[in-house]
Amino acid sequence: MKINNMTLGEFIKNFSRNNIIRLHFKEGNGQGLVLRDWNDVSMDHEILNGKGKNRHYINNEVVGLVSICLRPELGHHYPEAINIVIEKLENQPYIEETVEQTVELTLEPPVDQNDIHDITDIISGTSL
């Protein structure tokens, strides 16, 4: 049963706030991991912002949710992740990762060491 033909992006916007997401495909009577490792997860906001390993699946339809019991002694992490089953597309689109650009702002211009000496000389009266 599909959840009102919602895409993963729509599902996250409507139902998830700051959660870890693990994706599965429907396979036979069960499901299989979208990525090869149980520890390959993404934060929901990463997917929405075009980041992380699961960003490619933002437009896949959500098929359902599954409950998975993970065992830390087997190296499984993130037992708190929401396990979402999505449709499997034959030609899955690749989405380029969004890269943030940072701009460094300086509030004051750099001070030239010669200017400091000139000001000191002016204050002390030696440059006059």
CA-to-CA dists, residue 36 to 28, 33, 57, angstroms:
18, 6, 15
- Does residue 1 lie in a domain region? no
Q: Are the beta carbons of 63 and 4 closer than 8 angstroms? A: no
- Does residue 106 lie in a domain region? no
Q: d(Cα 21, Cα 117) in Å, to the nearest integer?
A: 59
Looking at the structure of the chain, the number of domains it has is 1
- Does residue 118 lie in a domain region? no
3-class DSSP state of 107: coil
Q: d(Cα 17, Cα 36) in Å, to the nearest integer?
A: 25
pLDDT digits (tens, 9 = 90+) for 25-78: 998 888 999 998 999 999 999 999 999 999 999 999 999 999 988 888 888 899
- Does residue 110 lie in a domain region? no
pTM of the model: 0.71
Q: How far is CA 72 from the centre of its chain?
A: 23
- Does residue 126 lie in a domain region? no
- Does residue 78 lie in a domain region? yes
pLDDT digits (tens, 9 = 90+) for 100-114: 767 676 666 666 665
- Does residue 120 lie in a domain region? no
- Does residue 124 lie in a domain region? no
State the DSSP H helix or E strand holding residue 62, giving kind and residue range, or none if neither.
strand 62-66
